[in-house]
Structure 1
Amino acid sequence: MTDTVWFITGAGGGLGYLLARDALAAGDKVVATSRSIEGLGESLSAAENSLLVLPLDVTDPRAAARAHDAAIAAFGRIDVLVNNAGRAQLGWFETIPQEDVRRQFEINLFGAMNVARAVLPTMRRQRSGLVVTISSVNGLVSNPGGSVYAASKFALEGWMEGLAEEIAPLGIRSLIVEPGMMRTNFLNPSTARQGDIDIADYAEPVSAFRAFIAQANGAQQNDPEALSALIVAEASSPSPARRLLFGADAHEWAGAKCRQLAAEIDASRTRA
């Protein structure tokens, strides 16, 4: 693609910021959106008329529509949508208030749907586009302390797998990205929430899990810079991957899950 226009959610930091930076460096145009945009335009080095910075709360469908309209007014088209905005709601399920569970889905699932609903009509008119969904290996594998977060990512991937088939005949492609643990601000206390209902039966594992998260924060093995470069390269490919696992941990966990599923499917044949 030439003169590619990116629309990126959650561009205020982490992978979203790196994608905006790298797309601009590649000579593309970028609509960088975030709940908070203070200083974002100044920190992204951009050629004149190549960057539009917009505030966007993805949980607000009307805000998504306004951001889309502003992007079209500025650049006339959207070639790559990156649904990156997200949050980690961690903790044992029973320790997480119901409103926090719903909030996790409002951001990670319904937020992505709101933005896609705003952007897809333009891609349909163009008969072209690429929808990049930043999921996680936890969209394939769940574990203690991550049940609610994984549930939102499982749902996100289920939606996108079906949507990808619906839009493919219209020339719109899909890429689901499933990183392992990344060195971003994702596990910072200001970003990742923990359940706050005290339940004695879970006290010991919850304490150990919180210690693990605190230790892992900032020391994750996977480099977001490398992932950003890979996604930008995939976006310019004539036949990008439909699913992109990133990181040795992601490949290990996903491979183990596939083997487990295969064994359980084989075992179920003797019970059917």
Structure 2
Amino acid sequence: MTGASRGLGREIARAALDAGDTVVATARSADAARDACGGEHERLHVLALDITDAAAANAVSAEAIERVGAIDILVNNAGYAELGFFETFTEAEVRRQFEVNLFGTMNVARAVIPHMRERRSGLIVTISSVSGLVSNAGGAVYSASKFAIEGWIEGVAQELAPFGIRSLLVEPGMLRTDFMDGKSANFGSIDIPDYAEAITQHRSFVDGANGNQPGDPKQLAARIVALAYQDEAPARLVFGDDARQWAGAKVDQLRQEIAQSADR
């Protein structure tokens, strides 16, 4: 489990412990992850991990296997959001978004997959977002990283299926976590007057939504833990009424655009 120190990661770790599982919880701060998961527990192993460090991902994977014997389920959850208009982000900020959300997620998967492939068994849970299906003004950079994750894991899942490794791609809507506040989200650092009014409206929306999101992370965590042990679990979980509405509208739009693209 990555990103276990807060938000959805914390809730998944707690739900897995409550279900009787052994959990290896990782975060940049091991102490923060331990506190978030409820403190010392005989089935909880906490390790520090910065997912952007590929060598560290390999070392943590090896240590996890040594401690618990096998990794049955990988939950790739760690990530954050750059929320703002594209031109207000520096190149470094955009690259950082991809370093964490995409390449960091790949680092951990690359460290764990050989172990699962050798055992011919395993489940990779990838926490994406409905923003990996639908992009809006103020979310272009974040959505770009999540769109990339979706394309990557969709193909990887097909590559790994012959080895008995399953994939669950999770696409939540807005969850009541600290995802939209300053602990997780960043906003563009370049001031562009042409966007001033739109940015003010966007920040007002984000500030108003923070803490009032409709989705319950505990409910989603319980769903993920339950699905992890179903042999016929879906490959994709779109969670929340808002996510299903946005995803459904995107599907309808695509159907219309495909029909309009047909030769006549």
TM-score (norm 2): 0.97
Contiguous gaps of at least 5 residues in structure 1: 1-7
Whether the 8 Å contact between 2:5 and 2:34 is mirrored in structure 1 is: no
Aligned to 1:56: 49
Q: Partner letter of residue 161 of structure 1?
A: E
Cα deviation, 1:144-171, whole Å, max 9, x if unaligned, reads 0000000000000000000000000000
Task: Tell me the CA shift for residue 42 of structure 1.
Answer: 4.5
Which among 211, 216, 224 is matched to residue 218 of structure 1? 211
Aligned to 2:127: 134
Whether the 8 Å contact between 2:5 and 2:37 is mirrored in structure 1 is: no
Q: Partner letter of residue 166 of structure 2?
A: R
Q: What RMSD, in angstroms, separates the aligned Cα atoms of the two structures?
A: 1.3
Aligned to 2:91: 98
Residue 203 of structure 1 pairs with residue 196 of structure 2 = yes
Task: Tell me the CA shift for residue 229 of structure 1.
Answer: 0.3
Between the two proteins, what is the percent identity of the paired residues?
Answer: 57
Find the aligned partners of 1:158 and 1:18 in 2 and give their Cα distance.
26
Whether the 8 Å contact between 1:24 and 1:46 is mirrored in structure 2 is: no
Task: Tell me the CA shift for residue 239 of structure 1.
Answer: 1.4
Find the aligned partners of 1:133 and 1:43 in 2 and give their Cα distance.
20
Task: Tell me the CA shift for residue 49 of structure 1.
Answer: 3.9
Task: Tell me the CA shift for residue 46 of structure 1.
Answer: 7.5
Which among 176, 182, 196 is matched to residue 175 of structure 2? 182
Find the aligned partners of 2:189 and 2:38 in 1 and give their Cα distance.
40
Contiguous gaps of at least 5 residues in structure 2: none
Find the aligned partners of 2:177 and 2:73 in 1 and give their Cα distance.
22
Figure out how many residues of one structure are paired with residues of the other and give that number. 264
Which among 101, 106, 112 is matched to residue 108 of structure 1? 101
Taking a change above 3 Å as real, the CA distance of residues 43 and 85 of structure 1, as seen in their structure-2 partners, is closer
Aligned to 1:3: none
Q: Partner letter of residue 112 of structure 1?
A: T
Task: Tell me the CA shift for residue 270 of structure 1.
Answer: 3.5
Find the aligned partners of 1:242 and 1:43 in 2 and give their Cα distance.
28
Residue 257 of structure 1 pairs with residue 222 of structure 2 = no
- Residues 1-272 of structure 1: matches in 2 within 5 Å? 8-45=1-38, 49-270=42-263
Whether the 8 Å contact between 2:89 and 2:188 is mirrored in structure 1 is: yes
Task: Tell me the CA shift for residue 190 of structure 1.
Answer: 2.2
Find the aligned partners of 1:253 and 1:68 in 2 and give their Cα distance.
36
Taking a change above 3 Å as real, the CA distance of residues 39 and 89 of structure 1, as seen in their structure-2 partners, is closer
Whether the 8 Å contact between 2:4 and 2:37 is mirrored in structure 1 is: no
Find the aligned partners of 1:171 and 1:190 in 2 and give their Cα distance.
38
Task: Tell me the CA shift for residue 40 of structure 1.
Answer: 3.2
Find the aligned partners of 1:144 and 1:101 in 2 and give their Cα distance.
16
> Is the partner of 1:193 in helix, strand or coil?
coil
Q: Partner letter of residue 144 of structure 1?
A: A
Q: Partner letter of residue 148 of structure 1?
A: V
Taking a change above 3 Å as real, the CA distance of residues 153 and 43 of structure 1, as seen in their structure-2 partners, is closer
